[in-house]
Amino acid sequence: MRHIGLICTLLIANILMATRLTLSLTSSRSIIPPLLNHTRRSFFHPKQFPKSYSCPLWSSSFSFCLDTLHKSTSPLSFTSSSSPSCSSCSCSFSSMASSASLHDDVASNPLLQDFEFPPFDAVEPKHVQPGIRALLKKLESDLEELERNIEPSWSKLVEPLEKIVDRLSVVWGIVNHLKSVKDSAELRSAIEDVQPEKVKFQLRLGQSKPIYNAFKAIQESPDWQTLSEARKRIVESQIKEAVLNGVSLEDDKREHFNRIEQELEKLSQKFGENVLDATKKFEKLITDKNEIEGLPATALGLAAQSAVSKGHENATAENGPWVITLDAPSYIAVMQHARNRSLREEVYRAFVSRASGGELDNTEIIEQILKLRLEKAKLLNYNNYAEVSMATKMATVDKAEELLEKLRSASWDAAVQDIEDLKKFSKSQGASEADDLTHWDFAFWSERLRESKYDINEEELRPFFSLPKVTDALFSLVKTLFGIEIESVDGLAPVWNKDVRFYRVKDSSGSPIAYFYFDPYSRPSEKRQGAWMDEVFARSRVLARNGTSTRLPVAHMVCNQTPPVGNKPSLMTFREVETVFHEFGHALQHMLTKQDEGLVAGIRGVEWDAVELPSQFMENWCYHRETLMGIAKHYETGDSLPEEVYLKLVAARNFRAGSQSLRQIKFASVDLELHTKYVPGGQESIYDVDRRVSERTQVTPPFPEDRFLCSFSHIFAGGYAAGYYSYKWAEVLSADAFSAFEDAGLDNKKAVEETGHKFRETVLALGGGKAPLEVFVQFRGREPTPDALLRHNGLLSVPASA
């Protein structure tokens, strides 16, 4: 959910987390090489590897997930340590917690207890330092024992290694997750204090020559050909990741490499914190209703709730006062609906300049990150950091750039026409700014044009998209497609907030196969923006307990949609519906895996630029008539969405598709440029690069004071560095995969079920145990082609220019 260049982020995390990204892969041979690098996450990666799979920065309609990049404070995401079936998922730290050498307060630390599901409700900042330090001490001892007794065999190498990494993954995963959903100064401080020690251990593990040599011995043994494909991929991945981790560096270079990793970890965390703080810092109190004319009732209710939380106890949606923030639901509502142009300008300026000034300025942090990434690449004998990133992905730098240019040329004319349409329409409406439309006007007039052209007002459609109906329809769809049942089991597992739901996934026989948490609502004061999926526990044969054959997977899905207002349920925009489907696609790949090798189960070991396939695939069903009409029931009357409105939604799907495509291409192009050609400290600044790339990827030049790079968490605080192209790369795969259902006949229930079963048994079941191109061919019967994506976007026949 990058889903993300990210790999170089975390040694261990690599193996285990793939992501909630939104990548797109072009698959025709002309764009993508037929044989892609086997790039799975390795438990060796010392850098932090984003466990979250964030959605892309969609654009022009401003209905996008903002700053969705999960901070890579995550640990060595490798395996997780609790099994999801209540009888078999306890995390076995009891021997550690009961050790006589541990102080009582450590022995009672909830992070170190035997638990079936993480004690999210009990963990406090005060538990972090003693808990992590006790854990690291125990794991260091386990690692030393492994190295002393190591043998080049699965049982003597991979299995004990998986157990070591799993313990840290689970415990650090709890801490890191709470920082994302329940942030506080105390928690930040506690994490910052122990993070260097955690990274030191990760580096120690990732640079273990005994482990590296044992993996090489397995690869060179006579038994190599007898290994399963999944095991071969694990071995190959670990060898590659160990090298990228610096295992082959001489002592002085390795020490330099380790200093770089520690500093990058620190800078990445600080970058993300600055973005969060800058986002929270902006508040605009409005007392005159005329200033917020045009804002829909839902947005006014949210603004009043914000005002109440800021001490204005008597604030109401009707009479105010109202507080506007830069949190996604508030920001998007202003940009799309506020008639007050000066308010739009003020909010837009604040948004694009976040974390670019004062004590929260990320400019120098970006410089340092790019400088250190380049140094790291040189130490590893690569020309630039993008080459390091691509070493563990499907694409190469050239192939990624080739894809982006193909899509850019197909999108350009359509994007130019989008701007012309807005100018013409705004002029017809007598807008004073018609001859001078700029960045804070585009979303507003886009919505007015959408309403005029398709007679659709997204805000007026909210009553038809209540969260309970959306989840019911989603669960019904996956039952049809994949033969699974989902039931609420609230109370079975501790949660971090009263609004978090907990669910069990069962197969057709009624047996549990997975669990997941769902945290849907925006909480600006403590929860980072965006939407993501992350793993809590991964499926694993090695970590099975209590007589079970495998440990079941557990996931969590996090969104930032509009919360319930008053007695109304959460009423969603159609974009928020798409986001829930997207995140659930990531969760499905994690939960429905049939791969028992923990290091390549589910999203683990899936090449970063392919991991968005299931998530983007699920979005397509939001336009499927039966699915959408099953969702769209008025929350009060129960009336279905009128047929003509459904047809208009489908017709509006490609509204401004050229502009939205170009925006993603711009982000991906800037990312690659900064990680291939940019010279830190040279004559060109990062903002010069941004403007130069924009000349080819933005019809309207960027706002002069635009400092979006300072909040581009995907590449500076997460795992998408030199990997943002993955959104488009994987989008090609997902569109082509969905076209298999179109070919079978979307109205043919039997054909849909048969195709869904095949999708489950390949894309969702095989995990990282098979190369993604091979998985796709096994499902589709051929290599992928970008035609379906261009067709879905209405760009297939658009002539290229510019």
In the structure encoding, which two tokens stand for residue 571, read together?
């009423």
Beta bridge pairs of residue 515: 504, 554
Counting as low any pLDDT under 50, the low residues of the chain are 1-54, 57-102, 798-802
State the burial class of residue 381 (Cβ atoms within 10 Å of its Cβ: 0-12, 13-18, 19+). Answer: exposed
To which residue do tokens 């650090």 refer? 172
Q: Which of 737, 614, 516, 668 is nearest to 18 (CA)?
A: 614
Beta bridge pairs of residue 366: none
> What b-and-e string marks burial along 247-283, b requiring 16 or more CB atoms within 10 Å of the CB?
bebeeeebebbbebbbbbbbbbbbbbbbbbebbeebe
In the structure encoding, which two tokens stand for residue 406, read together?
């193909």
Q: Which of 561, 581, 661 is nearest to 622 (CA)?
A: 581
What's the confidence (pLDDT) of residue 458?
Answer: 80
Q: What is the pLDDT of residues 191-229, one digit of tens each?
A: 999 999 999 999 999 999 999 999 999 999 999 999 999
What's the confidence (pLDDT) of residue 109?
Answer: 95
The CB density around residue 525, as the number of other CB atoms within 10 Å, is 14
Contact 656, 416 (CB under 8 A): no
Q: Strand (E) positions, 58-170? A: none
In terms of DSSP bridges, do strands 501-506 and 322-325 run parallel, antiparallel, or are they unpaired?
Answer: unpaired
As a three-state string, the secondary structure of 430-478 is: CCCCHHHCCHHHHHHHHHHHHHHHHCCCHHHHHHHCEHHHHHHHHHHHH
Contact 604, 389 (CB under 8 A): no
Dihedral sign of CA atoms 297, 303, 308, 312 in order: negative
The span from the CA of 373 to the CA of 7, in Å, is: 13
To which residue do tokens 């030049």 refer? 701
Contact 675, 8 (CB under 8 A): no
To which residue do tokens 């488009």 refer? 728
Dihedral sign of CA atoms 271, 272, 276, 282 in order: positive
**Torsion angle, alpha carbons of 637, 640, 643, 646, to 10:** 110
The span from the CA of 232 to the CA of 220, in Å, is: 11
Between the alpha carbon of residue 707 and those of residues 348, 437, 670, 687, the distances in Å are: 11, 20, 13, 7
Cis peptide before 321 (omega within 30 of 0): yes
The span from the CA of 617 to the CA of 779, in Å, is: 13
Residue 581, Cα to own-chain centre: how many angstroms? 13
Q: Which of 413, 419, 453 is nearest to 794 (CA)?
A: 413
Instruction: Give the DSSP per-residue string, 464-530.
Output: G-BHHHHHHHHHHHHHHHH--EEEE-TTSS--SSTT-EEEEEE-TTS-EEEEEEEEEE--TTTS-SS
To which residue do tokens 């007050």 refer? 340
What's the confidence (pLDDT) of residue 52?
Answer: 39
Between the alpha carbon of residue 681 and those of residues 200, 367, 374, 684, the distances in Å are: 29, 8, 12, 8
What's the confidence (pLDDT) of residue 26?
Answer: 28
Instruction: Give the DSSP per-residue string, 228-261.
Output: -HHHHHHHHHHHHHHHHTTTTS-HHHHHHHHHHH
What's the confidence (pLDDT) of residue 69?
Answer: 32
In terms of DSSP bridges, do strands 554-561 and 512-521 run parallel, antiparallel, or are they unpaired?
Answer: parallel
The span from the CA of 591 to the CA of 372, in Å, is: 36
Rg of the chain over Cα atoms, rounded to whole angstroms, equals 25
Between the alpha carbon of residue 719 and those of residues 7, 13, 384, the distances in Å are: 7, 11, 17
Please name the helix (run of DSSP H) or strand (run of DSSP E) that holds residue 385, with its range, or none: helix 385-390
Residue 376, Cα to own-chain centre: how many angstroms? 25
Per-residue DSSP letter, 573: P
The span from the CA of 44 to the CA of 15, in Å, is: 8
CA angle centred on 534, ends 625 and 549, rounded to 5°: 100
Contact 652, 450 (CB under 8 A): yes
Q: What is the pLDDT of residues 340-379, one digit of tens each?
A: 999 999 999 999 999 999 999 999 999 999 999 999 999 9
The span from the CA of 166 to the CA of 16, in Å, is: 10
> What b-and-e string marks burial along 88-127, b requiring 16 or more CB atoms within 10 Å of the CB?
bbbbebeebbeeeebeeebbebbbbbebbbbbbeebebeb
Dihedral sign of CA atoms 467, 469, 475, 478 in order: negative
In the structure encoding, which two tokens stand for residue 121, read together?
């409700």
Residue numbers annotated as active site: 583
- State if pTM tops 0.85: no
* Residue at 371: amino acid letter: K
What's the confidence (pLDDT) of residue 85?
Answer: 39
The span from the CA of 244 to the CA of 46, in Å, is: 9
Contact 466, 570 (CB under 8 A): yes
Q: Which of 16, 1, 85, 11 is nearest to 604 (CA)?
A: 16
Q: Which of 22, 6, 57 is nearest to 662 (CA)?
A: 57
What's the confidence (pLDDT) of residue 797?
Answer: 56
Please name the helix (run of DSSP H) or strand (run of DSSP E) that holds residue 280, with its range, or none: helix 251-281
583 — phi, psi (to 5°)? Answer: -65, -35
Contact 7, 43 (CB under 8 A): no
The span from the CA of 248 to the CA of 254, in Å, is: 8
State the burial class of residue 288 (Cβ atoms within 10 Å of its Cβ: 0-12, 13-18, 19+). Answer: exposed
Beta bridge pairs of residue 521: 561
